[in-house]
Amino acid sequence: MKSSDRHHSHNTNEFQKVRINSDRIDFDLSIDHIDKLILKHEDFYFKVNSFDFNIFDFSKTVGRNMQMPFMATTLLKQNNLLQSVDHHKFLQFFVQIYNKYKRSVEYHNDLHGSDVAQHVHLILKTQGLM
Q: Which of 119, 111, 129 is nearest to 49 (CA)?
A: 119
H-assigned helices in 79-109: 87-100
pLDDT value of position 16 = 43
By the 10 Å C-beta count (0-12 exposed, 13-18 middle, 19+ buried), 118 is classed as buried
Length of the chain: 130
Dihedral of CA atoms 99, 30, 4, 96 in degrees, nearest 10, equals: 0
pLDDT value of position 17 = 44
Whether the pTM exceeds 0.95: the reply is: no
Q: What is the pLDDT of residues 35-56, one digit of tens each?
A: 999 999 999 999 999 999 999 9
CA–centroid distance for 112 within its chain: 13
pLDDT value of position 58 = 94
What is the secondary structure of 67-78 as a DSSP string?
A: HHHHHHHHHHHH
pLDDT along the chain (130 residues), means of 10: 39 42 67 91 93 94 91 93 91 88 87 95 92
Contact 68, 23 (CB under 8 A): no
pLDDT value of position 105 = 85
